[in-house]
Amino acid sequence: MTCLYFIILPKNHLFGDIKLLKLLKPSVNRFFESAQELDPPDKFKSTHDFFLSGLSKYAEAMPIFRSGIDNLDADKIQLAANLIAEGAQLINQATQEVNKVR
């Protein structure tokens, strides 16, 4: 099955990238759980909310993305990519909020 991964990934991707993806899910989940436990100062609460929302999208995307790759399901891969893009937008909003506070 391993060689099938290369059908959907660009040629510059290596098998190590797929192994990295398998490692990312627990890391994203741990990071999300740790961030949820934080109690930011009032001036950073909206920033923290955007950040948590972005991390939530990443955490939601990881198992969908992995399943899409494992099953060569382009729809799942696209869904996960969309969730990751939404998460990135939310984290960018968090960054903008931080810059407003500075």
Take residue 11 and report the two structure tokens written for it. Answer: 């040629």
Domain assignments of the chain as residue spans, ordered by start: 13-101
The Cα 59–Cα 87 span in angstroms is: 9
Burial of 1 (0-12, 13-18, 19+ CB in 10 A): exposed
Q: Tell me: the pLDDT tens digits for 44-93? A: 898 999 999 999 998 899 889 889 888 889 999 899 999 989 999 999 99
Task: Give pTM, 2 decimals.
Answer: 0.69
The residue to which tokens 């040629």 are assigned: 11
Q: Tell me: the pLDDT tens digits for 11-32? A: 555 444 455 555 565 677 777 7
Q: Between the CA of residue 50 and those of 23, 61, 64, what are the distances in Å?
A: 24, 17, 22
